[in-house]
Structures are given as C-alpha cells and as structure tokens.
Amino acid sequence: MRYLVVFLFFSSTIYGQSTVMINLTLPSVAKMDVEPNKNGFNLALTAPSEAGNGITNQTTNSSKWINFTSAVTPGYTRAISANYSGTALSGLDIIMEIASHSGGGAGARGNSVSSIILSNSSQTIISGIGGAYTGNGINNGYNLTYSLDVTDFSLLRNASKSLTVVFTMSDN
C-alpha cells in the first residue's frame, strides 16, 4: 500500500482595527472694533457769515468703520447697538448714519438702519449678524458718518463738549 502525504500550508489573516474620536469645538466669537482707530474727532458749527441767517455750515465725519467677526451657535444672531456717554448737547442732535456693509468679508453680516439720533440710550444700528466677518481696516464693514443737527437755536451756546460713543455687540 502506498501512501501519499500532502501538506497544505495556508495563510490566514485576521485584520485588526482601532478607532479614535476627534472632536473639534468651534467657539462662539464676538469681536468688534472701530477702524482706523479709536481717536476722537471734532464736529463744529460755523457761525453764519450774514446776519439773519441760520447755521448751515457744519462739519461731518465719515472716517470711522465698524469691523467685526462673529461666530454664533445654530439659530442665534447678534446685533450692534450704539449710545453715547456724557452730557447731552443743548439744542443739538448728533446724527449717526450707517451705510450698508461694503468691502471684504463673507457671511451673514447683517443689515443696518440708515441713521439714528445718538442718545444715552442704546439703539440698534446693525442686526441679523450671523456667522460672518467684515474684513479688517477701513473700507471694510460699516461706514459711519457723524453730523450735528440744530434742534433748538435758542439753546445754542459758544461751548465745547466731549462725548464718548459706545458700541456694543450682543446676542439676540
């Protein structure tokens, strides 16, 4: 009797696997500043050159821009408000005009009101800000134009006053 012995070698592989988790947390972000700087500026009324005329010559200032970066949790938006601190000006209103956003940036940069009369009370000037950034520096974001409006000529005095304008970015 003959015997044939056959050896079969086989190779088997059992794959191993390991899993790790990666969590990326993006925070809520609210950064805002005024460009090109926070330096003050002057608004002045010029006396009329002809007796009997009212005040028509006045200075305006359009040098300031609001820049911001905003990241919000789902479903939330932000707004920016403005007020001034200091003593009100007798016979004068301070008008702030807010242009639509321009320049660089992306996202839900919100919408501005056309103008407000600044007061001690906070007023919303930009609303509906979501995840967005405006770009940095002048010519980016929202341009502000300040001017004076004579409301009561009889109260005007030869005087100078300083006010501080406060901007606040807050969650809705």
Partner 1 sequence: MRLHIFILILCSFYGTSAQSISANSGWNANVSSSEISDAGLDYNGTYQSSQTETYVTASGFNIFRNYYVYVEKSELDWNSNLILSARRTGNGSGGWFGSISGGTNYIPLSNSSQLFYYGGIGFSNSRSNVPIQYQIEGLSVLLPAKTYTISVIYTVSD
Contacts of 36 (CB under 8 A, 6+ apart): 63, 64, 65, 137, 138
Amino acid making up residue 47:
A
Nearest to 44 by CA among 31, 27, 59, 56: 59
Tokens 């005329």 sit on residue: 53
Query: Which one of 64-72, 84-92, 116-124, 156-164 is the stretch in contact with partner 1 (CB under 8 A)?
Result: 64-72
Q: Give residues 146-165 in contact with partner 1 (rule: CB under 8 A).
A: none
* Residue of the chain from 64, 69, 92, 143 that contacts partner 1 (CB under 8 A): 69
Q: How far is the CB of 90 from partner 1 (least distance, A)?
A: 35
Q: Phi first, then psi: give them for residue 103, nearest 5 degrees.
A: 90, -145
Question: 20 vs 51, which CB is nearer to partner 1?
Answer: 20
Question: 92 vs 132, which CB is nearer to partner 1?
Answer: 132
Note the residues at the interface with partner 1 (CB under 8 A).
Answer: 1-29, 31-33, 35, 67-74, 105-107, 131-137, 140-141
